[in-house]
Structure 1
Amino acid sequence: MQKHKTLRYSAVAFAVAAALSGAPARADVTDADILNDAKTTGDVVSFGLGTQGQRYSPATQINTKTVKNLVPVWSMSFGGEKQRGQESQPVIHNGKMFVTASYSRLFAIDAKSGKKLWKYEHRLPDGIMPCCDVINRGAALYGNLVIFATLDAQLVALNQDTGKVVWKEKLDDYKAGYSATAAPIIAKGKLITGVSGGEFGVVGRIDARDPMTGKLLWTRPTVEGHMGYTFDKEGNKTENGISGTTNATWSGDLWQTGGAATWNGATYDPETNLIFAGTGNPAPWNSHLRPGDNLFSSSTVAIDADTGKIAWHYQNTPHDGWDFDGVNEFVSFDFKDPKTGKVVKAGGKADRNGFFFVNDRTNGKLLNVFPFVKKITWATGYDMATGRPLYTADGRPGDPNAGDGKKGNSVFSAPSFLGGKNQQQIAYSQQTGLFYVPANEWGMDIWNEPVSYKKGAAYLGAGFTIKALHDDYIGALRAVDPATGKIVWENKNYAPLWGGVLTTAGGLVFYGTPEGYLKGVDAKTGKELWSFQTGTGIVAPPVTWEQDGEQMIAVTTGWGGAVPLWGGDVAKRVNYLEQGGSVWVFKLHKS
């Protein structure tokens, strides 16, 4: 082949040159690839199968008639002694699968054969303080980079082909309780990340970075009273407005360690150019120490992707006293208002507090709200005019200072603080118009205690014991109608459901159970059509894509997460479940 002088190839020229040389063409992940992820079937380049988070695939090869023929193709173990919970969603591009694992590891795998191509193990320091297991939920793809967050609150970008570190940036100080577990997303060419650590008095926020360099573009705190900033190319920062109004809904100085961690990441809607972040509990849990609504905790916050400014917010649990958070994902969809018949740009959210919310995603207006669990004790519903909950009298844990100063009155509350739904992701079917929610039925005894902030120490001011509400089940996969609030069908499960959901145009819903089963059910009826025992609990969301003309299903397996650590009586009930750490891939058997 004739030699040429060095040229700066365009993507087309690179592909032509690679083809002529016999080398495989490298196709970088572009903004267009990410925007079209929900519509294309050849890869999965974003968390949520599209930044809107619907987890819906238009693929139909695996359907209600053929799913019975689904068989395993390969499985790859993460190996070693670093098992624990595996909550990662794989991303697949250019014949490679990228999947994160416990203890801040990342694997590149040949998507066709299951062969490990390379592995990156982040060196974690002593003294990290992850709240809820050493998990990681996945990576972002951009250009030729694969980017993920680590338990010591760093971001690492690796070359997709070699696994070599391209850049590394610090999110925050792990010694102050910061960590990171969520999968980043790409929104309009920006890398969007949150932070974990609400149980340690951190200050939640959403950051936007240049994905190719890791340099900050803007940062938006999600606790009222803190300043946002934008950054120029040299890293110089400019004030970008205070979040809310100082002391408007926080008395005193507790807002300075106010929590509202954005530990579950974000979604992005290109139609409105808004980033939607769920925010966690206010700190401390003892709500009597912080009178007021405590914005922007336990809320959905909509942030302009260009400016980093808050466009609107909706607080799901004002003055949260139960650790309900509001961090659950906000999933964009088109909602037909049953009252007016008009189609509204909306978002759906199954909140930890047990209620399902439908909000106008352009302005945050509450369109519908209904319970998706059977027992809720802290509120009887919501006032649609104000959007505020109707609190139950005496439903809040008591003030320690009203008694002996050591322990407030204990109350029984449902759901438990682990939530009607926690990190496990919902899915929305464009085919059925239903949301599929992995729900849990449990309650807790909870009481408040005195507490003061100390850097790096747990900042709760509460005690609790979680209890199952029923002998025969805790988890229930539920299909809910966002317009009527009706539970269309449910599949009960003995152990809590802690893994996400996938739905497809093949009329199917896939989800995993802690007992180790990956299941495929009819999206309209919930009838189980297929299952496979993976050998360890599933606490991660499945994905699907097409490879060499065949539709594939993949899921990460490995029991763990918050339930074994925080579950109280529930943890004892499921202590027979075994840990693990693998990726399983399936396709249809050819007869």
Structure 2
Amino acid sequence: MNRFIAVVTAGFLATGVAQAQVTEDDLKNDQSITTQIVTNGMGRHLQRYSPLDTLNKDNVQNLVPAWAFSLGGEKQRGQETQPLIYDGVMYITGSYSRLYAIDLATGKEIWQYDARLPEGILPCCDVVNRGGAIYGDKIFFGTLDARIVALDLKTGDVAWRKKIADYKAGYSYTAAPLIVNGLVITGNSGGEFGVVGEVQARDADTGDLVWTRPVIEGHMGTLNGEDSTMTGTLNATWPGDMWKTGGGATWLGGSYDIETDTLVFGAGNPAPWNSHLRDAGTPTEGNTGDNLYAASRIGIDPATGDIKWHYQTTPREGWDYDGVNEVVAYTDREGNKRYATADRNGFFYVLNREDGAFVSATPFVKDITWAEGIDDTGRPIFVEDNRPGNPSDAVDGKKGDVVFASPGFLGGKNWMPMAFSQNTGNFYVPSNEWGMDIWNEPISYKKGAAYLGAGFTIKPNYEDHIGSLKAIDPDTGEIKWEYKNDAPLWAGVMTTAGGLVFTGNPEGEIIAFDDETGEKLWSFNTGSGIVGQPVTYELDGEQYVSLISGWGGAVPLWGGEVAKKVNYLNQGGMLWTFKLPRQFASN
């Protein structure tokens, strides 16, 4: 059973009024419809760019609070949601798998849904939720016990609820779903437990499974309840049976490129972290040891779930650099259709949108130790001495050689989404400058237990900053400007046609920057660290900005020496909404 709390406004009880329905056209045009946000990323390409320019560089200093909404209770862990907006209502998710409907004009609660989570859930990196998706008359979101739930937009009643995977084996789900052509498309979480990453598509009306696509080679996909095609080739890049618990969790969700009709999902770290256990031989023996398709970006046919292409950022990954970071479709200054992704491994990649082929890669953090660079084919040039040592080479066989690796396993950029500006043609990337001591240990798989085979301690690389918001020219890889922050950056970024870049920091500030110079133009302290995702929209001719505040996420749990540096920060759970008063709109 799930607990459901609803307070319904009188207007919603009116009879004879047809309920508004979100269509495929609404999803397709979400970026350009400035009165709504019905997709994660403010458009399924994840550009996080708004064409609104009422709020701009000249008047942003006049932005003031309009209302604030408290998530309440004692469940004040990390708040990473992106608000959705439709038909006068804002929808946000909260920690511990909660969802709220809020009156857009007043900030008053309309209804609240709380998933009743079972004992024994195994979330890796805090009990966060990153948002929902809207289609038809429903809103969809995932829960920490690896389920997908469809709720009625107006009432919050459960329309259907389906199991994605077995939470007792370490699976969970924290990402925002993706809707394409009436299908609800989800990934999964749990890479630290030896799960198998997978993408699933369900009928939005019924929740019935249409297709599945595991992302580790050797596993079979399904279509309409029947086996379809195998992912990759069995044992081509994995030794023995290790592919069966190979990781590759698709925990950040995906994007959709309508121009090529392609879903693009990232696959996370291979399991276990100890890469020596996954060493499948040498190319001359017919086995590359790359551990496909972990640490990869994968193009998928949305109708069938078949894999169109893949690009692996970190073959034989051994530092937990993962591979799930968002892939943003854009058109470069010369008219080329490109994808961009900023990887945890510290490189900013540009790919071709037709086939996912490698175009370029440039460093976006300062101290990369694991590779000398990326060669012309897109493969890293490894520094093998900076791979954590093999425990079997140790005298006692218990701990391999310790190495210092940079970036640390939390990445040059982690989950927090970057933004692209159609105004400047640049990307704005929330990054962190840190490293780690890391070593490998023996490990064997046990269902529901951590499956790492590694130990680690995160360390800051510099005394004066960890976080760094960078403006990056994707055509050249040049960093156009940088804003340094004392604490790690863990919040999403948004750009606007008004020449603004918005984000937040753990110190509690929501900040607006000049998109060309990086000048800090406005800020407001929310009282708790920000790890959420900003949005902007129009209501009754005025422009608003909303962002959730509430410190948490992976940094305080896994951050080592960095976690000690930010342990003074207070938790919270408050949605802040700001507006530009009408009298300042023409300034």
User: Taking structure 1 as the reference length, what is the TM-score of the superposition?
Assistant: 0.94
Tell me the residue number matched to 1:263: 251
- The one-letter code sitting in structure 2 at the alignment partner of 1:571 is A
- The one-letter code sitting in structure 1 at the alignment partner of 2:140 is I
Tell me the residue number matched to 1:90: 83
* One of 212, 225, 241 as aligned partner of 2:229: 241
- The one-letter code sitting in structure 1 at the alignment partner of 2:460 is A
* CA deviation after TM superposition for structure 1 residue 344, in Å: 2.0
* CA deviation after TM superposition for structure 1 residue 248, in Å: 0.1
- The one-letter code sitting in structure 1 at the alignment partner of 2:252 is N
* CA deviation after TM superposition for structure 1 residue 343, in Å: 2.7
Does structure 2 conserve the Cα–Cα contact (< 8 Å) formed by 1:516 and 1:538? yes
- The one-letter code sitting in structure 1 at the alignment partner of 2:315 is P
How much is the aligned-residue C-alpha RMSD, in angstroms?
1.2
Q: Does 1:400 align with 2:397?
A: no
Does structure 2 conserve the Cα–Cα contact (< 8 Å) formed by 1:496 and 1:514? yes
Cα distance in 1 for residues equivalent to 2:116 and 2:314:
38
Tell me the residue number matched to 1:9: none
Q: Does 1:390 align with 2:387?
A: no
Tell me the residue number matched to 2:99: 106
* CA deviation after TM superposition for structure 1 residue 188, in Å: 2.2
Tell me the residue number matched to 1:273: 261
Q: Does 1:300 align with 2:307?
A: no
SS at match of 1:343: coil
Tell me the residue number matched to 1:339: none
Q: Does 1:334 align with 2:335?
A: no
* One of 423, 436, 444 as aligned partner of 2:436: 444
Tell me the residue number matched to 2:133: 140
Tell me the residue number matched to 2:284: none
**Large movers: runs of 4+ above 3 Å:** 21-25
Tell me the residue number matched to 1:287: 275
Tell me the residue number matched to 1:321: 318
* CA deviation after TM superposition for structure 1 residue 306, in Å: 1.2
Tell me the residue number matched to 2:451: 459
Does structure 2 conserve the Cα–Cα contact (< 8 Å) formed by 1:86 and 1:136? yes
- For residues 300-350 of structure 1, the C-alpha deviation after alignment (integer angstroms, 9 at most, x for no partner) is 0000111110000000000000000010000000124xxxxx532110000
- For residues 31-90 of structure 1, the C-alpha deviation after alignment (integer angstroms, 9 at most, x for no partner) is 100000011101100000000000000001111111111000000000000001000001
Cα distance in 1 for residues equivalent to 2:437 and 2:490:
21
Give the gaps of 5 or more residues in structure 2: 1-10, 280-288
* One of 534, 540, 554 as aligned partner of 1:548: 540
Q: Does 1:581 align with 2:569?
A: no
Does structure 2 conserve the Cα–Cα contact (< 8 Å) formed by 1:46 and 1:185? yes
Cα distance in 2 for residues equivalent to 1:514 and 1:111:
26
* One of 555, 560, 580 as aligned partner of 2:552: 560
- For residues 508-540 of structure 1, the C-alpha deviation after alignment (integer angstroms, 9 at most, x for no partner) is 000000000000110111101100000101101
Tell me the residue number matched to 1:169: 162
Cα distance in 2 for residues equivalent to 1:455 and 1:261:
16
* One of 501, 504, 526 as aligned partner of 1:509: 501
* CA deviation after TM superposition for structure 1 residue 23, in Å: 6.8
1:51-200 to 2 correspondences below 5 Å? 51-200=44-193
Cα distance in 1 for residues equivalent to 2:158 and 2:192:
31
Tell me the residue number matched to 1:11: none
Cα distance in 2 for residues equivalent to 1:140 and 1:475:
29
SS at match of 1:289: helix
Cα distance in 2 for residues equivalent to 1:161 and 1:421:
37
Q: Does 1:428 align with 2:420?
A: yes
SS at match of 1:460: coil
Tell me the residue number matched to 1:220: 213
- The one-letter code sitting in structure 2 at the alignment partner of 1:224 is E
Tell me the residue number matched to 2:7: none
* CA deviation after TM superposition for structure 1 residue 393, in Å: 3.4
Does structure 2 conserve the Cα–Cα contact (< 8 Å) formed by 1:550 and 1:587? yes
Does structure 2 conserve the Cα–Cα contact (< 8 Å) formed by 1:41 and 1:545? yes
* CA deviation after TM superposition for structure 1 residue 190, in Å: 1.2
Tell me the residue number matched to 1:492: 484
Does structure 1 conserve the Cα–Cα contact (< 8 Å) formed by 2:275 and 2:318? yes
Does structure 2 conserve the Cα–Cα contact (< 8 Å) formed by 1:26 and 1:94? no
Cα distance in 2 for residues equivalent to 1:286 and 1:29:
46
Tell me the residue number matched to 1:50: 43
Worse overlay, 187-196 or 166-175: 187-196
- For residues 251-285 of structure 1, the C-alpha deviation after alignment (integer angstroms, 9 at most, x for no partner) is 11100000000000000011001000011000000
* CA deviation after TM superposition for structure 1 residue 238, in Å: 1.3
* One of 220, 229, 233 as aligned partner of 2:222: 229
Give the gaps of 5 or more residues in structure 1: 1-17, 232-236, 337-341
- The one-letter code sitting in structure 1 at the alignment partner of 2:226 is T
* CA deviation after TM superposition for structure 1 residue 368, in Å: 1.1
Does structure 2 conserve the Cα–Cα contact (< 8 Å) formed by 1:501 and 1:511? yes
Cα distance in 2 for residues equivalent to 1:590 and 1:108:
26
SS at match of 2:386: coil
SS at match of 2:557: helix
Worse overlay, 181-190 or 265-274: 181-190
Does structure 2 conserve the Cα–Cα contact (< 8 Å) formed by 1:368 and 1:482? no
Cα distance in 2 for residues equivalent to 1:577 and 1:213:
43
Does structure 2 conserve the Cα–Cα contact (< 8 Å) formed by 1:178 and 1:196? yes
Cα distance in 2 for residues equivalent to 1:346 and 1:527:
28
Cα distance in 2 for residues equivalent to 1:210 and 1:139:
16
SS at match of 1:208: strand
- The one-letter code sitting in structure 1 at the alignment partner of 2:230 is I
- For residues 356-383 of structure 1, the C-alpha deviation after alignment (integer angstroms, 9 at most, x for no partner) is 0000021111111100111100001111
- For residues 366-422 of structure 1, the C-alpha deviation after alignment (integer angstroms, 9 at most, x for no partner) is 1111001111000011111x2100011301000000112100000000000000000
Does structure 1 conserve the Cα–Cα contact (< 8 Å) formed by 2:360 and 2:378? no
* CA deviation after TM superposition for structure 1 residue 30, in Å: 0.7
